[in-house]
Amino acid sequence: MNFLGYQRPDGSAGIRNHVLVIPGGFLAAKIGESVAGVRTIVTSDSGSGRTGRDRETIARTLIGLGRNPNVASVIVHPLSPGAGYPELKPARLAEEIAGSGKRVELIDVAEEGSTYRALEKGVNLAREMVLEASRLRRQPFDLSHLTVGVKCGHSDPTSGIAGNPVNGNLFDRIVAAGGTALFGETTEIIGAEHVLSRRGINKAVSRGILEAAAETEERAKATGEDIRTINPVPSNIAAGISTLEEKSLGAIHKSGSAPIQGVLKYGERPQGKGLYFVDNWMSMGSIFAGYAAAGAQLVIFQLGGGGWRGGDILPTSTAVVAPLMWTTANPKTLSHFPTGIDFYSGTVIEGKDTIAKSGEKLLQKVLDIASGTFTRVETIKHTDPTQIYLKDPCF
């Protein structure tokens, strides 16, 4: 099975063809407003007041976004409160992104003489890069070139019965074909980590899964809170989920059944193909950017819908350069958000499909999106802010 993507110098394949300006801020935002085809990150996590470990996480995220296959070329600028830190120096970001072989340009505001002159240069560079990118043509790639990340949210019984298992079946298909699949949400494996750890390819991987869960629970206890009383959240409880263990046992189904090749830090790129567990947080505001930084060309939100309060337009992608696909197995969720849901797996509960059959249909939908068809929320010209997953306090 193939999709139509854009060839990149490092051998990867993009399913989109963006020009990226990083870090975010005034200069990046104005270039994006002026030039079609430009993306930038919207975040308050500049690195100022952060620990060295957290600044390195921010740098890893920015570099990873720049290296993402969906990015054709990159502009790096110094107008950020974190630019003076060694981890976040623009020259370092540019050099590491350029290692992927794609074009990277560094704007020196001091050399240009003012922010406005730098903006003029940035707009001209971005226009040039967008024109270059537009000359690329899609060509066929097999599934070994695809990386997908998934999270589940507003979980309800339909999530554990059909929604997550169908996404897990998709992951099994991608991994079997030589591709890469990423899942995480460390708070969502607590109580089921012992089940998940059995799928590690070796003792180190199994131990890493258990340690990630234990560290997260201990961090909660250090604040005087018990994570098992904070989670499930009110929307889960309203949907009928009573304990964190119950929620976690349903959540881990989205990973499928393949062996787990490794445990990754937020934004860390896997060293090989296959299924990986990512130590990250459950918020869609942070999780998707980490997947995109790790190389995911597409991210999926499996929505239960229990206790959801909102309109018929769902939030857009916080993965910056990777489109967001929404799936659900809940018929009420589908009826509430017909303009936001891309795939419905509730046919499994209705007896019309098996998990395997629905998983096959989901794969066809993913290949269609990877070949250029927009996701529903991708048609909305809006950028939700990204919250990079940082573990240390801000000083």
Percent of the chain with pLDDT over 90: 84
Please report the pLDDT score of residue 307 as a whole number: 62
What is d(CA 181, CA 277) in angstroms, rounded to the nearest whole number? 9
Residue 172's Cβ-side half-sphere holds a number of Cα atoms within 13 Å equal to 17
Chain segment 236-258, per-residue pLDDT in tens:
777 677 787 888 888 999 999 99
What is d(CA 214, CA 227) in angstroms, rounded to the nearest whole number? 11
Q: Where are the beta strands (DSSP E) in 83-198?
A: 103-106, 139-142, 147-153, 180-183
Chain segment 131-173, per-residue pLDDT in tens:
999 999 999 999 999 999 999 988 899 999 999 999 999 999 9
Q: Under 8 Å CB-to-CB from 84, ≥6 apart: which residues?
A: none
What is d(CA 120, CA 234) in angstroms, rounded to the nearest whole number? 49
Burial 232-255, CB ≥16 within 10 A → b, else e: bbebbeebebeebebbbbbbbbbb
What is d(CA 332, CA 381) in angstroms, rounded to the nearest whole number? 26
If DSSP codes are grouped into helix, strand and coil, which group holds residue 279? Answer: coil
pTM above 0.85, yes or no: yes
Give Dmax (Cα) for the chain.
67
Please report the pLDDT score of residue 306 as a whole number: 67
